[in-house]
Structure 1
Amino acid sequence: MELVKHNDELQRRIELLDVTADLQLAKELMELHQAKCAACQEDRLRCATRPACKDRNFLNALIEIGVEVIDLPDFCYSQNVEQIRRLVLEKKGRRMIDRRLPIKDLLQSLGVSSIRHFTTKYKKEWDNFASVHEGNLMLVTGDGLLFRFDFTRGIVTVNPSKDRIRSYNIFKLYCDLFSERYQVNMTVKDVTQNWWILSLTVDDSDAAAVKALQKGDLAESFDAIYRTESEGKVQIQVEVLLDTDAKYLESEDLSELFVKASKLCK
Structure 2
Amino acid sequence: MRLLIDAGFSGRQIRQRLAAIGRSPETLTGILLTHEHSDHTQGLGMIAAKLNIPLYCNRLTREAVESQFKVPFNCRIFATGAAFDVGDVHVETFSVPHDAYDPVGFLLRTAAGNVGFLTDLGHATKAVVERVRPANVLVLETNYDLKLLQADTKRPWSIKQRILSRHGHLSNENAADVLEQVASDALQHVYCGHLSRDCNTPELAAKVVGSRLEKLGAKGIGVETTSQEAASPTFELAARLRAVVEKPAVKSSPAATDWALREAPSLPGF
TM-score by length of 2: 0.29
Q: Which has the higher helix share?
A: 1
TM-score by length of 1: 0.29
Q: Which has the higher strand share?
A: 1
